[in-house]
Amino acid sequence: MMFDIPQQKKRAIERRIAMGQPLTGYGWPGMTVRWCTGQLKTHLISKEVNRLKKEQNALHYIGIAADEAHRCKDDPQNRYPLVEWKITEAQALQICYSRGFDFGGLYEIYRRASCWCCPLQRIDELRKLRTHHPELWARLREMDNRARAMFGPGPLGQFKKDWSVERLEERFAREEKAGRK
């Protein structure tokens, strides 16, 4: 999707042509264009959940924690057990640990374990990705180089507004060297 999906909408195609951009690929997602959240998660889940709710009167159990209750929606077919039981995010993690689910130790390293290639994550999380998962960091560099070659240095082509992954690599390497002195 990031590189190959053809643009379908007339307006999007016209905009791409006007900007001299390729007619395929969404490029990097950003704060205002989070195509990945919609296309790869929420639209797919909603479609199936809505079908089950309608056809089988199913209930939808959602793991929103008590300390993020503002995200709950007012829908009689939704259930929020963690909110109901007043279990916070931190408590839920401890309960998982006590039952033997440790997520391969990811939460010992990272603040959040979502997409490793997310451009919206904090710089500090990316620093940790480089240290603890160098194979993913190498893939991220490849993706960003490909995106910049394809879309240029604008929002579609550059990983973060002020940072390409190559520049982050230079920064982290510099920090590492300074730390070793």
Smaller CB separation from ligand SF4, 53 or 133: 133
Q: How far is the CB of 32 from ligand SF4 (least distance, A)?
A: 11
As a three-state string, the secondary structure of the chain is CCCCCECCCHHHHHHHHHCCCCCECCCCCCCCCCHHHHHHHHHHHHHHHHHHHHHHCCCEECCCCHHHHHHCCCCCCEECHHHHCCCCHHHHHHHHHHCCCCHHHHHHHCCCCCCCCCCCCCHHHHHHHHHHCHHHHHHHHHHHHHHHHHHCCCCCCCCCCCCCHHHHHHHHHHHHHHHHC
Q: How far is the CB of 160 from ligand SF4 (least distance, A)?
A: 12
Q: How far is the CB of 137 from ligand SF4 (least distance, A)?
A: 16
Q: How far is the CB of 42 from ligand SF4 (least distance, A)?
A: 9
Binding positions for ligand SF4, 102-131, rule CB under 6 A = 114-115, 118, 120
83 scored as a contact of ligand SF4 (CB under 6 A): no
Site pattern 27..66 for ligand SF4 (x: CB under 6 A):
--x----x-xx---x-------------------------
Applying CB under 6 A, the residues found at the interface with ligand SF4 are: 29, 34, 36-37, 41, 114-115, 118, 120
